[in-house]
Amino acid sequence: MPLDSFWQSVRHMGESVISRLPALILASIVFALFYALSRLVSRLIRRSTRGHRENLGTVFARLIGAAIILLGLLTAISVVAPSFQAADLIKILGIGGVAIGFAFQNILQNFLAGLLLLWAEPFRVGDEIKVDAYEGIVEEIQPRATIIKTYDERRVVIPNADLFTHSVIVNTASDVRRWEYDLSVKSVSDISEIKSRIVNAVRQVPGTLPDPSPEALVLELTDDSGSLKVRVLWWTKAPRQHQMLASYDAVLTAIRQALSQSDEKQGDVKPGADKRAA
């Protein structure tokens, strides 16, 4: 008797599977069509955003593709089990979504911040940015974090929420950039002549722009002996870090050579400790 009951149960299950086989085949076809549709839509989104907001297009392609696959899965389940109601699943997902939201609050915050950054595009891959103590080249903008490579070849992963709420300096936002350097000049008898020598020396350096013209501005008189502090300003079309260092080297070398010819007449010139790029 137990053996007969077992075989009856097996036969009943087999008949149920056979009776639902057409529905299973149809559900598989429906899911395969939705999956193919998700791949097609994702490919179209990536192609339309290629060369313009490519990272944003990749993120939206993944999100929309996942949504289409989820819709196809729900449709396939409805085909196999007609009594299944998608509204019940949505209610369950809604209740679970609240718990997941509290558990992964930081992750969701970084994800939403990443979407806003990709949409607004305050910087792009390849730009040089500075965030708090970190400065380097943007390698990748992910939905959760942004990866930059520092100038000493280290990788820094910065959460997108920090980039969205903190001040970010984009050094390569413009092709033209102004540089500054302070010089301490001692025992100056003719301020106009020393400023003219500095400006002429900077103008002759390759890479400096004639317009806007270089400037030499007196910041302060350090003592009664005629010493003063001069700020040198010049513009270049080289906004990147290595180009900045090369520009400093060429400009300061030219200034030193120009002023060394009249050290006895104009006084000693020493580079100041304060240097900035505007």
Averaging pLDDT over each range in 79-83, 164-168, 274-278, which range is the top one? 164-168
Percent of the chain with pLDDT over 70: 73
Indicate the average pLDDT of the chain. 79
The pLDDT tens digits of the residues spanning 86-125 come to: 566 666 566 555 656 655 677 778 888 888 888 888 888 8
- The one-character DSSP state at 69 is H
Angle at which helix 86-103 crosses helix 105-120, to 10 degrees, equals 100
Average pLDDT over residues 206-218: 89
CA–CA separation, 110 and 105 (whole Å)? 9
Is the pLDDT at 273 greater than 50, yes or no? no
Residue 45 CB burial class (10 angstroms; 0-12, 13-18, ≥19)? buried
Of residues 140 and 13, which shows the higher confidence score? 140
Q: Which residues are CB-contacts of 109 (< 8 A; sequence separation ≥ 6)?
A: 161
Q: Which domains does the chain have, with CATH numbers?
A: 2-88 (no CATH), 117-170 (2.30.30.60), 177-277 (3.30.70.100)
229, pLDDT greater than 80? yes
Residue 194, pLDDT above cutoff 80: yes
